[in-house]
Amino acid sequence: MKTRLKELRAARGLTQVELARLAGVRRETIVFLEQGKYNPSLQLAWNIAQVFELGIEEVFILEKPLPDQD
């Protein structure tokens, strides 16, 4: 999963610590998300998207398509 966290954070002038506080997580979680080492829970993705006043899909981008559901 790709993320626009670093870009969005920079645009808002937020540090990783500030974003973590606003999203209710530790700074390390933000670091791992930005590095692509961690996929957020739906709740965390929603919390982060709310900080930026965006939809989840505008912050987190699924890199490979989901399998067809026939």
- Please state the domain extents for the chain: 2-61
Alpha-carbon distance 67 to 1, whole Å? 15
**What is the pLDDT confidence band of residue 63, given thresholds at 50, 70 and 90?**
confident
Question: How far from chain centre, in Å, is Cα 67?
Answer: 23
Conformation bin of residue 46: beta by default, left when phi > 0, alpha when psi is -120 to 50: alpha
Q: Coil, helix or strand for 32?
A: helix
- What is the value of pTM for the model shown? 0.84
Q: What is the mean pLDDT of residues 37-57?
A: 96
Band (62; pLDDT cuts 50, 70, 90): confident
**How high is the pLDDT of residue 59?**
96
pLDDT bin (cut points 50, 70, 90) of residue 69 is low
CATH 3.40.50.2300 is the classification of domain 2-61 = no
- The Cα–Cα gap between 31 and 33 comes to 5
